[in-house]
Amino acid sequence: MRIAERVRALLGGDAVLEDTGSPDGVPRIAPASPDAVALLLGTARAEGWRVRVEGAGTWMQADAPADLSLTTRRLDRVPSIQPQDLTATAEAGIGCDQLRQQLADHGVWLALDPPGLAGRTLGSVVATASAGPLRHGFGPVRDHLLGVTFVTGDGRLIQSGGRVMKNVAGYDLTRMQAGGFGAFGVIVLVHLRLRALPRVDQTLILEGPREDLSRMGDDISAAGLTLAALELLSPALARRERWALAVRLAGSAPLVAAEEAGLRAATGGLFTALRADEAHAFWMRAGEAFATRPVAFRIGGLPASSDELLDLVQHQVGDEWVSASPGVGTLRWAGDATVDRLRRLRRALAVLEVPLTVERAPWPVRRAVGHFGAYREGVGPLVAGLRSTFDPGNSLAVAIESDG
Amino acid sequence: MIDRALVDALTQIVGRTHTRTAAAERATYAMDGLTTHTRVPGVVVLPGSRDEVIAIIRLLASHGVPFVPRGAGTGLSGGALASEGAVLIVLTRLNRILTIDPANRFAVVEPGVVNVKLSAAVAPHGLLYAPDPSSQTACTIGGNVAENAGGPHCLKYGATVNNVLALEVVLGDGQVVQLGSPGGEPWGPDLVGLFTGSEGNFGVATRIAVRLLPVPQAVRTLLADFTSLRTAGEAVSAVIASGIVPAALEMMDQSCIGAVEDSVYAAGYPRDAAAVLLTELDGRDETAVQAEAESVDAILKTHGARSVRTAADAGERARLWQGRKKAFGAMGRLSRDLVVQDAVVPRSTLPGVLEAIGEIAARYGLRVSNVFHAGDGNLHPNISFDSRIPGLTERVEAASAEIMAACIAVGGTITGEHGIGLDKLRYMPHIFDGDSLAAMHAVRRVFDPAERVNPGKVIPMHACREWAGIPGVRSVERGMRNGNHSALRTSHSALES
């Protein structure tokens, strides 16, 4: 019996979205519940099927060699939004745009602006730990998670964390899932830490030569302002003639007013405020651009080395589609890069003790360089142990390590 | 008991002065801050360097002897207790601050650095280390990492896990691994996040890189008092829902207020109040912080505060905080013994849960004082009692279990910052199913296949569903026989070639 027929018998006819719709003819399965994901993966383990996981199909290329493709797109419910507690529980397959809207209806906000298209799923954002410019003010993806429920490669449903603001009961497996690229299981449910919608959300922008803006970014960081985002964007990404330094302020009216005054004092009042619709379009387009190139990666350095890292990236792979958070030290790049180029860049960064994480790339590139590349001494066996613990049959088609 | 030859070998590593073998010496380490659990270690060693830590752990690995890492012993879950068959490794002599990098706002410290001393050391740079457990004048950063410690100001600035960037860890077999990077980006999966809060089960952190934050230039501390606990709980929800994020939002009930006011830590809290709420706003700009303080003042009054007072100066602010942070100590006046409980509930359920705790206390005839992180919903019901009275300890245990059940029933959890240790083992099956507990156990075995590091803590083995195979464990063991002694630095040769 073909896999699609087996799955129909197992999960019902509507779980198989198409028999041959994927470019490589792999059946695409859309379980409708966490239990159905567990049933499917348990069966896959028993049958020796290799499974690739996708969300809405808008971020990671769905091209890993596999016997079936598991999409979380039918896991799109939001079982709980608790505005008075600033928490929510959402299934992993909900699109970020839909989630944002539902939260906004309750006056709350998930302070994450991941790269990618608006419909990118929550599970994808968590699995890749893709924070955007708001990381400056609100921290990495893991800081927004209270807990996750995931299904192991052999079909076990595991809860980690909880639904409350603090929780140290047991080991925090949520941290392993955030940025695990699905190597340790399929995320099905996410418990989120929210914030009240900011009363004021203001974006200011300054264009100019990269060197001048970098220096200004350092000055702004040193001033200790309370910013939601401080981002340096390449002209293509900012859709401007020159590089752009963008500042986002979010919070109460007095706070935003004070920080805007502080910003102008620190920079000589050069920034221009965007209208709300302009600001929305500016950030959205910048984020979307990362999904339109075949390769995207992030690197995590130190704030003081932000400019040096930009130089290095420019030298190795160019700087057409790049943004940097000088206050955090992170940098995100998109474009077309060969395996050799990526390896060379990773080596150069390793000398500076800076990790490079491949966020999206065609399978041959992912397989060759891995999301993480090689590990530092002693870490590889730990990750291998965790992988085989949570995916004992090696059912999940994920390339987190380099193959050479 | 620990073999004599092994004791001699340990003594050779750390010296006679730093090896404790006499019964009276070992008894010093029989408890942590939670005095209801007692275990006397077989031997106690106090290494003075990371190399000594590595040598000790490798020696113990070669003998197959379990060990327990310990900081200042201020933990509140029995997590740092070792039995007669285990060696207690006390890390308080590893107390050096190795790096302060003001430009990149991070520091690298040894695990025995006392929490408050780090903030003092970085203060000249206008920086601070945010996690501030009540025991911060004694507790160590290493212990904070093991427990994922919190504190009043983690409402705004996060708990320990949100402030740790990188770790050097000695695994149970003596292998040294570097996790994370000083920039905070994981080098692979987030093993720093996984290690933090693992209660010493995954190894010993010997070097810790932490994030530093600018010292806020403007601070307002407000003391509000209420005539009922329920009203105070409702006011907490109103502040949180307003969108203003206080740096801290702490509550004390009447019993706690009385204990503090009777002590040397008297802060001027109104004794007749059913509860007081201590709210702190901070930031860079005086005008903005003042505006937020006025908003919070209005919210508190609208939601039933009898009065709201703003600390007039730094001295009054320090006094208000001293009363809060020393509240546990002040409760020593109430009775001979104290059980400090720790649970977290959704913030909106605080009023009902506080009433339920009061009802449980009344039913068991116990004095329960509440002092807690209201902004996080992190409760600390403290039960005062005299363990010499026959049957009273059992009543305290039963009441504690009911309090935990009440918290779990509203969607809460059994610990927000004290950890599971020994004390909360019995509650773990109430919040995790057998598969989830077994998954945690399997993760522990990846880091510590022999289960010799702080054995018997965190995971109630009887409740784990069978986790067939636990594959990967053997391959992990095979891969752990090399050393890397660099201090939170990358071994470049190990990186991709």
Q: What digits encode the pLDDT tens for the residues B245-259?
A: 999 999 999 999 999
Nearest to B431 among A83, A169, A184 (CB): A169
Tokens of B356: 């339920």
DSSP bridge partners of B253: B275
Q: Tell me the average pLDDT across B450-473.
A: 79
Q: Is the pLDDT of residue B491 over 50?
A: no
Asked if B432 and A170 come within 8 Å (Cβ–Cβ), the reply is yes
Q: Is the pLDDT of residue A23 over 90?
A: no
Res B481: pLDDT: 29
Q: Is the pLDDT of residue B453 over 80?
A: yes
- A152 CB neighbours in chain B (<8 A) are 439
Q: What digits encode the pLDDT tens for the residues A302-358?
A: 999 999 999 999 999 999 999 999 999 999 999 999 999 999 999 999 999 999 999
Tokens of A250: 């979010």
CA-based nearest residue to A191, from B411, B231, B78, B475: B411
Q: Is the pLDDT of residue B271 over 50?
A: yes
Q: How many CB atoms lie within 10 A of CB A315?
A: 11
Q: Is the pLDDT of residue A1 over 90?
A: no
Helix residue spans in A318-361 (DSSP H): 339-351
Q: What digits encode the pLDDT tens for the residues B440-450?
A: 999 999 999 99
Asked if B304 and B267 touch (Cβ cutoff 8 Å), the reply is no
Q: What digits encode the pLDDT tens for the residues B89-138?
A: 999 999 999 999 999 999 999 999 999 999 999 999 999 999 999 999 99
Chain A residue with minimum CA distance to B201: A171
Res B241: pLDDT: 85
Cα(A81)–Cα(B424) distance, rounded to whole angstroms?
29
* CB pairs A-B closer than 8 Å: 323
Nearest to B188 among A167, A375, A385 (CB): A375
Q: Which of A144-158, A371-385, B167-181 shows the lowest mean pLDDT across its residues?
A: A371-385
Rounded to a whole number of angstroms, the distance from the CA of B8 to the nearest CA of chain A is 30
Indicate which of B190, B213, B424, B461 best probes the interface with A, i.e. most A CBs within 10 Å of its own CB: B190
Rounded to a whole number of angstroms, the distance from the CA of A17 to the nearest CA of chain B is 30
Q: How many CB atoms lie within 10 A of CB B301?
A: 14
Q: What digits encode the pLDDT tens for the residues A174-186?
A: 999 999 999 999 9
Nearest to B242 among A164, A196, A353 (CB): A196
Q: What digits encode the pLDDT tens for the residues B192-231?
A: 999 999 999 999 999 999 999 999 999 999 999 999 999 9
* Banded model confidence at residue B189, pLDDT cuts 50, 70, 90: very high
In the predicted model, what is the mean pLDDT of chain A?
Answer: 95
The answer to whether A210 faces chain B, any CB pair under 8 Å, is no
Cα(A401)–Cα(A358) distance, rounded to whole angstroms?
10
Res B464: pLDDT: 87
Res A369: pLDDT: 96
Nearest to B183 among A252, A354, A385 (CB): A354
HSE value, Cβ hemisphere, 13 Å, CA-based, for A398: 28
Tokens of B321: 């905080």
CA-based nearest residue to A120, from A59, A190, A186: A59
Cα(B292)–Cα(B290) distance, rounded to whole angstroms?
5
Helix (H, G, I), strand (E, B) or coil at A63: coil
Cα(A31)–Cα(A35) distance, rounded to whole angstroms?
8
Asked if A171 and B194 come within 8 Å (Cβ–Cβ), the reply is yes
Nearest to B181 among A152, A355, A383 (CB): A355
For A:366-385, CB contacts with B below 8 A are 369, 372-385
The answer to whether A262 faces chain B, any CB pair under 8 Å, is yes
Asked if B150 and A195 come within 8 Å (Cβ–Cβ), the reply is no
Q: What digits encode the pLDDT tens for the residues A40-69?
A: 999 999 999 999 999 999 999 999 999 999
* Banded model confidence at residue A404, pLDDT cuts 50, 70, 90: low
Asked if A4 and A10 touch (Cβ cutoff 8 Å), the reply is no
Rounded to a whole number of angstroms, the distance from the CA of B33 to the nearest CA of chain A is 18
Res A21: pLDDT: 59
Res B485: pLDDT: 30
Asked if B154 and A195 come within 8 Å (Cβ–Cβ), the reply is no
Q: Tell me the average pLDDT across A205-210.
A: 97
In the predicted model, what is the mean pLDDT of chain B?
Answer: 92
Res A18: pLDDT: 72
Nearest to A168 among B148, B373, B479 (CB): B148
Asked if B476 and A382 come within 8 Å (Cβ–Cβ), the reply is yes
Rounded to a whole number of angstroms, the distance from the CA of A20 to the nearest CA of chain B is 34
Q: Tell me the average pLDDT across B404-415.
A: 97
Res A375: pLDDT: 85
- B446 CB neighbours in chain A (<8 A) are 382, 385-386, 389
Q: How many CB atoms lie within 10 A of CB B71?
A: 28
Q: Is the pLDDT of residue B487 over 90?
A: no
The answer to whether A184 faces chain B, any CB pair under 8 Å, is yes
Asked if A262 and B411 come within 8 Å (Cβ–Cβ), the reply is no
